[in-house]
Amino acid sequence: MKTNSFKDLIVWQKAYQSAREVYEITKRFPPDETYGLVQQMRRAAVAIPSNIAEGYGRQSTKEYRHFLSIAYGSLCELETQCSLSIDLGYCKRNEVIEGLLKEVGRMLYRMLHPSQ
């Protein structure tokens, strides 16, 4: 199936959905974390679909893979921040976010390592 836009990519759709979920859970974080963990989590969450989209819009496979790699790094960063926010008691485990991040992570990994 041919894609006409980055929005057609399931990996982008799932990453976008995870960013929306992160915005929702971080609304309930303590006010003193507004410029700390909340900002970091939101930035990492937005970076994932943004880098997938930017890479898709590039003119070469090498550049696309570069941006997918950046998206994967942001995903790892966000997973760490989610774990920390749970350990600090700012939120409870969120199976929706965890599932989306695992799924996006698997997709990005397969896109970056197609022969494995």
3-state SS string for 10-66: HHHHHHHHHHHHHHHHHCCCCHHHCCCHHHHHHHHHHHHHHHHHHHHHCCCHHHHHH
How far is residue 83's CA from residue 103's CA, in Å, rounded to a whole number? 17
pLDDT digits (tens, 9 = 90+) for 35-50: 999 999 999 999 999 9
CATH 1.20.1440.60 fits 6-112, yes or no: yes
Domain ranges of the chain: 6-112
Q: Is the pLDDT of residue 75 over 70?
A: yes
pLDDT of residue 1: 63
pLDDT of residue 83: 97
pLDDT of residue 59: 84
pTM for this one? 0.95
